[in-house]
Homo-oligomer: A and B are copies of this chain.
Amino acid sequence: MGKQKIQNMEEFAEFSGISRPTLSKYFNDPDSVRPKTRDKIERSLAKCNYQPNIFAINQNRKLTKNVGIVVPYLADPFFAEMARGIETFVIAAGYRPILLSSHGDPELEKDNLASLRAIKPAGVLMAPLGRSSDRAAIEAFCADVPTVCFDANIEGVGAAFVGHNNVQAMELMVEYLVRSGEPPTFFEMRNPPNPNANKRRMAYIDTMEALGHTPHVIQAEGEGWKIEEIGFHEGRKALIDGAFATKTVFCSNDRLAIGFLAAAYELGLRVGLGADCALRVAGHDNHPFSSFTCPTLTTVSQDYAAITARCVEMLVELIEGQQQQNTRATILIDGKLTMRASA
């Protein structure tokens, strides 16, 4: 490989026979130069391994091509999956994803925003922690950098929100459970870290009442993101106490359901649809592991692909769109019933 060592754009200008300002234009947007010169540049580029210094670029441009992705808890496969989708779309859109997890800690969430500020991102995609988030800090951040929120909607925060349609999804599942058996009891955390939980409870109650049934809600104690553990211990307790009004349990999310199923198993309760089953259990989210629970978990799936695609789209519009809209868009993506063995 006789590839020359070219250190900077000056040298590459000499090497390629194109002036430096034109090269600068090219690297910023290859389509902004004449096709002929573009060809010439790219042919030269193939002959050496020059690559513009990203620090020098970012220092001098007011706006970088960085896009921050902030997630509340990356060790949760749900968010890992979301992050994966978002990363892919961000790269496809020509930006550079920077993935940060808050690991469930509001302080770290603030730190993450601070360190994002330092890299002057073109925009940020953020799933806030929710209840424990420092709202003021996030608002201040969103005022400075274009931010699209996903997963958890903090009313009024961010330029847009793209998320799951909890109301539609809850209706879907409650109606299915009622139709195929008896009305469900709702099982959730009393203090859920994620704000979707509240929307789900309310949608559950509304749907149940609309269908002429009495809603029953069992609330698990416990704080934080060890949700399976809470589902297990509190679900176990509730089962032993006979706290469930019906034998059909609709868990607020799949992680809770995973813990709950483990508890039911330990107590020797057969879960499923058959006549020989003591319980029916449904979840919500279509968590990556919900296909491998025992029994496999009937759930409402969030449309990962649509949500991730849409929120990247929104952000790109926000960044590249000339006219700035003042209205905060809220986009809700419908869920789908995913029927498996547990209900």
Contacts and interface: CB of A to CB of B under 8 A. Distances in A.
B75 A80 contact: yes
A85 to B, nearest CB: 10
A99 interface: yes
Interface stretch (A17-25, A49-57, A331-339): A49-57
A103 interface: yes
A103 B75 contact: no
Contacts of A100: 99
A77 B228 CA distance: 14
Contacts of A77: 75-77, 80
A88 B295 CA distance: 36
A98 B96 contact: no
Contacts of A261: 292, 294
Nearest to A83: B74
Contacts of A96: 115
A266 interface: yes
A49 B265 CA distance: 55
Interface string A118-134: 11100000000000000
A232 B80 contact: no
A236 to B, nearest CB: 12
A55 B51 contact: no
Interface string A71-98: 0001111001101100110000000101
The listed residue with most B CB atoms (<10 A of its CB), out of A74, A77, A96, A295, is A74
A116 B289 CA distance: 31
A34 B232 CA distance: 55
A54 B119 contact: yes
Interface in A260-288: 261-262, 265-266, 288
A51 B118 contact: yes
A168 interface: no
A302 to B, nearest CB: 15
Contacts of A330: none
A84 B73 CA distance: 9
B292 A294 contact: no
B54 A258 contact: no
Nearest to A261: B294
A295 B232 CA distance: 13
A101 interface: yes
A99 B51 CA distance: 22
- Please name the 7 residue pairs, one residue from A and one from B, whose CB atoms are nearest each other, closest first: A294-B294, A265-B294, A55-B59, A75-B80, A55-B58, A262-B292, A55-B55
Given A74-B80, A99-B100, A262-B296, 11 more contacts: A54-B118, A55-B59, A55-B120, A77-B80, A84-B101, A87-B101, A228-B289, A228-B292, A262-B292, A262-B293, A293-B294
16 contacts: A51-B118, A55-B58, A75-B81, A76-B77, A77-B80, A80-B80, A84-B103, A87-B101, A88-B103, A96-B115, A228-B291, A228-B292, A258-B289, A262-B292, A262-B294, A289-B289
